[in-house]
Amino acid sequence: MSYDNAPEHVQLAVDMIRQMENLDFPNETVLEACLLVMQDTLNKMGREDRVAWRTRLSSILSAPGGSKKRQTAI
């Protein structure tokens, strides 16, 4: 799948990954920053959406190989 034909969320993820790689921060710093972005975004959502996303994130992160499983689903 080409970047131009990818879904919007995939394009945004690719842009964010490229930017973070260019900044050359340690992985731990990148993950801490991502947590802050997720918390901020979740706090801007309505209660139902926030609960649904927290449940979704929790299941992805707690599953063995969760991030790998998510990448293949995209």
Per residue in 1-22, pLDDT (tens digit) is 899 999 999 999 999 999 999 9
Nearest partner of 56 among 36, 42, 40, judged by Cα: 42
Instruction: Give me the mean pLDDT over the 27-35 stretch.
Output: 94
Residue 10: inside a domain, yes or no?
no
Instruction: For residue 56, give its domain range.
Output: 26-73
- Evaluate whether residue 65 is within a structural domain: yes
Please give the backbone phi and psi of residue 40, each rounded to the nearest 5 degrees, phi first: -60, -45
Find the helix or strand (DSSP H, E) in which 14 lies. Answer: helix 8-23
- Looking at the domain assignment, is residue 13 inside a domain? no
pLDDT band at 73 (very low <50, low <70, confident <90, very high): very low
16 located within any domain: no
Domain membership flag for residue 49: yes
Percent of the chain with pLDDT over 70: 88
- The total of structural domains in the chain comes to 1
Query: Is the pTM for the entire model greater than 0.85?
Result: no
